[in-house]
Structures are given as structure tokens and as C-alpha cells.
Structure 1
Amino acid sequence: MVTTIDDTKRMAIGERLADLRAFQSLIISNDQKLIDACPYEDVRERLQNMLSDDQKNLGIIDTVIVQYGIQSEPSAATKIFIPQFEKMMSGDEFTYYQKLIHHELMKHGQAMSGIMIHKAAQVVGADIEVAIGPLNTVNFEGRAHQEQLKGMLEQVGVREMTGQDAHQGLWARVQDAVAALSGVAGSITTQNTDKQDMNIQTLIRLDHEKVNTLFTEVGATKDPQKLQEYFGQIYKDLLAHAQAEEEVVYPKVRSFYGDDNTQELYNEQAQMKQMLDEIKAIDPANADGFRSKIKDLMDVVGDHIRQEEFTMFTAIDNNCTDEQKEQMATEFKAAKSKIQQEMSA
């Protein structure tokens, strides 16, 4: 019998993602504090642009966590640090320049955390790399913000000490670097999303890509521990995906996709859930038998994916506006997140 479907390394990455989200919310709060207290119009304008990026990036982090499939709480250290940092940034003990330094340090830590999550994903599993792909946008923009903040620190520091502006040579070079980095980040952002939510087809397709990667990982190993790890993620991902579709997507498409076509999707997912429970009861030490059952599941899921991507997606395009597709994505993501939290509990 499979006694657990959790994996320590995957849970650790889930906690780091929860930390990343908590710190992104802290950065947004601190952006606003710095804007409100800023005595310099040019610096305030740049901070306002950063705030817009950071709010968008919080949406991307939320999407990544839902695609990753493990809902975790931030670490104990993060829960201790955040209120202490907020208190420090709200007090009068530091000059504006000193507060800006701490904000730049926070940006640096956030960028490094995102990079480390990406590196850990490379070690743990290809499916994780697929799930966290949009995080690269946040990492690139965080690095761009760091460079911009360095230029802002130069100006603010000189102004506080002398009452005059710094010479513009280094500032101009910093701005050139920011423009180059932002161009790279912008291209990635465009490929993923320029909003806080992707449309519904993109979100569902990301789920499909991830589960197909997991099936590939199952096919490439006979190690019982790895088989259990990969199936554990398949089990959680498919159940959350199916339930969210049944709560949000299928009721909305039935009117134009048709009763018979929509019912077929429900029936396929019912079969899939039954197969998941059957596989969960098999000992992965019987590697060949375990993989054979997962191959049967893969065939059922493959047929289901093809129907959704080739016919349901077309029906959605033909009958829904961009705003309706984005709203459906928002509701799908929220439903999936709630389901994942309930599964974790």
C-alpha cells in the first residue's frame, strides 16, 4: 500500500514559495510606505512604477503556487521577521536613505529566493520546473528593480548629505542597465502574462503540460520511492484540477459546448478519479505493475486533454470575450487554491 503521497523536498519548495509570496506582499506594502514618505518627485515616480510591477508579480506568484500544487504556510522565521521589518520601516529611527537601503536588500533577497527555488526545481523534478516557469518573470524584474534602486540610493544619499543632486554619469549607466534588464523581463512577461491572471485556456494548458511531464517522469524510473513521489503529485494535481473544472469551467461552457460534450468531460473525470484511487492502493514496489496502471491512466487523461484543447478551447474562444476568459481563470485559480488547501489540511 502507498502510505503517503507527500515528499519532503516538494514540501520544502512549497514552503519557500509561501515565503516568496509573503515577502512579495511585504515589498508591496513597503513600496507604498516609501512612496507616501518620498520627498523627491523623480524617485517617487520610479517607486510608483515598481509598485505596479510588484502588484502584477504577486499575481504571478499566486499562479505559480496554484500550478505547483502544494499549499504551504510561510516558515516560522518569515512569520517572525515580517512584523519586525514592518515596525522598523514605519518608525522614525531611520532616514529615507536608510529605509531605501533596506528595501533594496529586501529586493535582493527576494530575487535570490526565486533563483534558488528554480535551481531546487531542477534537482527535484522536471514537472516542478514546468509549474514554476512564470516565476522567471518575477526574478528578472526583481533584478531590474535592484539596479534601479541602486541609482535611486545614489541620488537620495547625496541629496540628504549635500542638498544637491549627484552627478549623472553613474545614474545614466544604471538606467541603461535597467532598460536592458527590463527588456528581457518584458519579453518573458509578454510570453506568460501581462496581467495578474492568464486566460482560462492558458491555465488549463499549464496543468496539462505539468501532468504530462509527471507521466514522463514515471516512465523513466523504476525506483519505488520516485514512483510514489511522482504519483503522489499526479494524484493531488489531477484531483484539484478536475474538481476546479467541475466547479467553475464546465458549468460555464455547457450552454455553448453542449450537454453531451460537457457530460462526456464529467464522465471522463469520474473514470480518472476511480483509476487514481485504484493506483493509490497499489504498492509501488511492484514497479512494473504500478507503471502499467499509470500508463492506463495516462491514456484516459490524454484523451481528455485532447478533447479539451481541440474542441472545448475552440468553443470558449468562439463564445467568450477576453474579459470573460480572464474572469474564468481568476475563478478557476481561486477554486483550485481552496481545494489544495483543503487537501493539505
Structure 2
Amino acid sequence: MPITLTDTKRATIAQKLADMRAIQNLILMSERQFIQECSDNDIRSRLQDMIEDDEKNLGIIETTITQYGNPAEPKDKVQKMVNQAQEMMQGSDLSLYEKMAQHELLKHGQVLSGLVVHKAAQVVGADVKEALAPLNAVNFENRAHQEQLKGILEYLGTRELTGQEPDDSIWGQIQDALAAMTGVIGSATTQASDASDMDILTLIFMDHQKAKTLIREIEKTQDPNKIREYFGQLYKDLVAHAKAEEEVVYPRIRSFYGDGDTQELYDEQAELEKVLNEMKASEPNAEAFQAMVKRVKDMVGDHTRQEESTMFAAMRKNMNDSQREQMATEFKEAKKRLQNQMQ
């Protein structure tokens, strides 16, 4: 039968990522609300640092969702919970201590969601594991925030119960805990910490690596169902990637990369999409399908080598860091729109 583009397991992970994005927006809204309600300068400073981290983490989640390539909406019950929590955080029924206690639970839940998604990625496929790798930074920083929130809660709780300030050594204890945690996980956090503001070259390279991973997965399995799953994802990824490049990247580079070389990239992607559509209508165990897998592998290899060598070199020479980062933002937005249309 013709290959469909939606796999249940991948769609379930996509919805979990959408849940995480909804919760991350709630976390940011709550922290901004806490700063308005809190008069303690030390706590306000710590909350402001958390907001900066969480704005970056939201960007990482957004980037991860786009790289994953399966857009989804959060579960109805999660969206309902977010709406109720917003009302609670903005209301006056709870004290600041009580609100922040609920906030710490949100952080804890976000850590668990990130860990569960990673475990699921290991089961579903190498390409999923690769696409979701940037979430490590979000998981680690949320754990660090939990430690800080415990200190803030001790401080607020003591003051709320007694009207007096707690022992100042509590902040030293929290800093010691954070230093110990940083020693264990700092390197992994650093590796993924820039996922929210990658430049266009990094995003294109990540797409190339994911496509090559999917092709390898198709080649090494004889299970028709797995082939359908992997090809369905490969089709969506390559088509969205190609159209986003044609919309955002190629028109911008033509002036310095040259008409001939730029047109060659357009032509290669048009031919690739033609082959992908033929595969989509084929049986995965047919000889013709297997032959087209080899053809797609060669086409992707040739195309990516050109982009990663001569095109990347031209972009580094003719575009500054800010321009490449701005192009990355536009590229992600274009991919997101195209993915939603394909969905």
C-alpha cells in the first residue's frame, strides 16, 4: 500500500513536546508574575536569572520541535491545566510561597517530561534521538532551578510563618548544591546551550545529518512497517527542508554564490522531490522502491556535500554572525509553517 506520513509513536512524542512548550510558556508567565509580587531584591535577582534561562529554554524547545518535524498541539487536559494555573498564579487566593511551591512542581514535571521523551527517542529511532538531543540543556537547567527554588521556598516559608528573616546561610547551601550539580552536568549543558540561537549553517547541517540517519535506518531494516515509518519521516523532513531553503536561503545567496550554482541547488531539490513522491506511492518491499532508496542516498549525499563545502564557505565569507542567525530564525519559521501545512 502507498506509504503514509504519520506514525503513531512519533505523533505521540510530538504531542509530548507540544505539552512541554505549553508548560514552558506557563513557567515564564509565572516567573514574571512572581517578580511583580516579590519585594525582596535577592529573590527578584534570582528570578530574573531564571527568566533569562527559561526564555532560552523555550527557544530550545521550539528549535527541537522544528527539527523533529512532526508539529502537534498540546493535549486538551494539559492546555486546560495551563489555563487554570495561569488564573491561580495571577489571582490573590494563594500566597507567594504557595504559588512558588506549585511552580517548583511544574519544574519537576518538566524535568520528568524531558527524561521520558529522551527514553522514548531511544526506543523509536536514531533520528529521533538525534533531533531531541538539545533538550538535555533544558532538563539540566530545570534541575538546577529546582535547587534554587527550594532555597527560595525555605526563605519565603520561614518569613511567612514567623515574620522574620531566615538564616542567610541558606543561600550558601544552595550555591554549593548548584556548584556540585554543575560539576556533573556542566559539559553536557554547554554542548546544547546554544540550540535556541543557532546560525543557519548549523540548522542546515542538523537537517542533513538527520536525513542521512533516516536513510541508514531504511537501508538496514527488512521490516516493511519500519520502512514506512522511517520513509514517512524522511519525506516530511526533506520536503520541508528543501522548500524552506528555496524560500529563505537560496534567494539571499544568489548574489554572491552565483546564478549557476544556486540554480543547480534548486534543480537538484526539484529532482529529489520527484523521486520522493514516486517512493511515497510505492510498496516498501518492491525492487523499484529499494532502487530509489539508493538513488535518494546518492542525491542527498551530492547535494549536502555541495552545500556544506562551497555554499557554507560563501555564506561565512559574505554574511556576518547576526545575518546568519537572523536567517536561521526565518528558516525555522518557514519550516514550521510548511510542516503544519503537510500535517
TM-score range, shorter chain: over 0.9
Contact 2:159 2:165 in 1 (8 A): yes
Distance 2:185 2:245 in 1: 31
Partner of 2:291: 292
**Could you say what secondary structure the match of 2:197 adopts?**
coil
Partner of 1:181: 181
Distance 1:123 1:195 in 2: 23
Residue 6 (str. 1) matches residue 23 (str. 2): no
Partner of 2:132: 132
**Could you say what secondary structure the match of 2:196 adopts?**
coil
Distance 1:125 1:308 in 2: 26
Distance 1:150 1:290 in 2: 57
AA partner of residue 15 (structure 2): E
Task: Report the alpha carbon displacement of residue 5 of structure 1 after superposing the two structures with TM.
Answer: 1.8
Residue 320 (str. 1) matches residue 282 (str. 2): no
Contact 2:63 2:195 in 1 (8 A): no
Judging changes above 3 Å, is the alpha-carbon distance between structure 1 residues 291 and 174 closer, same or farther for their aligned structure 2 residues? farther
Partner of 2:309: 310
Contact 2:136 2:192 in 1 (8 A): no
TM-score (norm 1): 0.96
Distance 1:75 1:107 in 2: 18
**Which digits, 9 at most, give the CA deviation of each residue in 1:111-130, with x for residues without a partner?**
11111111100010110011
Task: Report the alpha carbon displacement of residue 289 of structure 1 after superposing the two structures with TM.
Answer: 4.3
Distance 2:35 2:290 in 1: 56
**Could you say what secondary structure the match of 1:302 adopts?**
helix
Contact 2:3 2:232 in 1 (8 A): no
Task: Report the alpha carbon displacement of residue 132 of structure 1 after superposing the two structures with TM.
Answer: 0.9
Distance 2:189 2:143 in 1: 14
AA partner of residue 156 (structure 2): V
Partner of 1:78: 78
Contact 2:3 2:228 in 1 (8 A): no
Distance 1:184 1:311 in 2: 39
**Could you say what secondary structure the match of 1:315 adopts?**
helix
Task: Report the alpha carbon displacement of residue 263 of structure 1 after superposing the two structures with TM.
Answer: 0.6
Partner of 1:53: 53
Contact 2:137 2:190 in 1 (8 A): no
Partner of 2:329: 330
AA partner of residue 235 (structure 2): Y
Partner of 1:43: 43
Task: Report the alpha carbon displacement of residue 219 of structure 1 after superposing the two structures with TM.
Answer: 1.4
Distance 2:81 2:262 in 1: 49
AA partner of residue 292 (structure 1): A
Distance 2:259 2:338 in 1: 26
Task: Report the alpha carbon displacement of residue 251 of structure 1 after superposing the two structures with TM.
Answer: 0.5
AA partner of residue 203 (structure 1): L
Judging changes above 3 Å, is the alpha-carbon distance between structure 1 residues 221 and 106 closer, same or farther for their aligned structure 2 residues? same
Distance 2:312 2:53 in 1: 30
Task: Report the alpha carbon displacement of residue 284 of structure 1 after superposing the two structures with TM.
Answer: 1.4
Structure 1: which 5+ runs fail to align?
A: none
Residue 217 (str. 1) matches residue 217 (str. 2): yes
Among the aligned pairs, what percent are the same residue? Answer: 55
Distance 1:183 1:97 in 2: 30
**Which digits, 9 at most, give the CA deviation of each residue in 1:144-178, with x for residues without a partner?**
00111011111111111122232345542322222
What is the aligned length? 343
Contact 1:137 1:185 in 2 (8 A): no
Contact 2:218 2:230 in 1 (8 A): yes
Task: Report the alpha carbon displacement of residue 316 of structure 1 after superposing the two structures with TM.
Answer: 0.4
Matches within 5 A, 1:244-323: 244-286=244-286, 289-323=288-322
Partner of 1:15: 15
- Of 212-221 and 245-254, the range deviating more from structure 2: 212-221
Task: Report the alpha carbon displacement of residue 340 of structure 1 after superposing the two structures with TM.
Answer: 0.4
Judging changes above 3 Å, is the alpha-carbon distance between structure 1 residues 184 and 339 closer, same or farther for their aligned structure 2 residues? farther
**Which digits, 9 at most, give the CA deviation of each residue in 1:197-238, with x for residues without a partner?**
210000001101111111111111010000000000000000
Partner of 2:229: 229
Structure 2: which 5+ runs fail to align?
A: none
AA partner of residue 7 (structure 1): D
TM-score (norm 2): 0.96
Partner of 2:339: 340
Task: Please tell me the root mean square deviation across aligned C-alpha atoms, in Å.
Answer: 1.5
Distance 1:193 1:110 in 2: 17
Contact 1:21 1:62 in 2 (8 A): yes
Distance 1:62 1:224 in 2: 32
Partner of 1:31: 31
Distance 1:120 1:313 in 2: 34
**Could you say what secondary structure the match of 1:71 adopts?**
coil
Task: Report the alpha carbon displacement of residue 181 of structure 1 after superposing the two structures with TM.
Answer: 3.1
Contact 1:140 1:184 in 2 (8 A): no
Distance 1:124 1:15 in 2: 15
Residue 200 (str. 1) matches residue 200 (str. 2): yes
Contact 1:63 1:333 in 2 (8 A): yes
Distance 2:182 2:267 in 1: 46
